[in-house]
Amino acid sequence: MKTVGILLIPGATLLSGCAGTMSNPLPPYETVVAKCKALEGPSEAGVKPPKLVEKGKDVRGLIFGSGGYACVRATITAEGKLTEPEVLVTNNKSYADAFVKSLAGYVYEPARKDGAPVLSKVVLTGWWSDAGLPMSTSGETATAKPGQGP
């Protein structure tokens, strides 16, 4: 009987501790896009923003779990390559890491100033839920539709 008590107390403690670790529900996509947009800062006058030409990997094959969101700042080079991704805000580090990996291979038509390609900073929004909701990515120029990947 003493052995049961020894096992019961740690088990009950573990379960009660897990009850408080439930993650917050995933905010609506529009709310997350607004949150990430607020991190962009003002755009430079006279600069035409970059335009997404080709998407990277599909994030769905990279993660399992309850999904999440991430705001990622990146540089678009004058050659149109996405570089230096930096997670600014996320509610799920695993999702954010997978989202950053999915950005590999993104190709942009670079930003232009007076017709010449220039380096630019963008903030991309990644949002995904495995609860039957569509996965989306948003940035200056891209929003994925359900089934298209980021």
- Which domains, from first to last, does the chain contain? 25-138 (3.30.2420.10)
The residues that bridge with 122 in the sheet, in sequence order, are 74
Q: Three-state SS for 39?
A: coil
Joined tokens for residue 6: 């020894």
Phi, psi dihedral angles at 38 (to 5 degrees): -65, -20
CA dist., res. 142 & res. 150, Å (int): 9
Digit-coded pLDDT (tens) for 85-144? 999 999 999 889 988 988 988 899 999 999 999 999 999 999 988 765 445 555 543 333
- Contact (CB, 8 A) for 80 and 108: yes
The answer to whether the predicted template modeling score (pTM) of the entire model surpasses 0.75 is: no
Query: Per residue in 80-98, pLDDT tens?
Result: 999 999 999 999 998 899 8
Q: Residue 4 has which token pair?
A: 């049961």
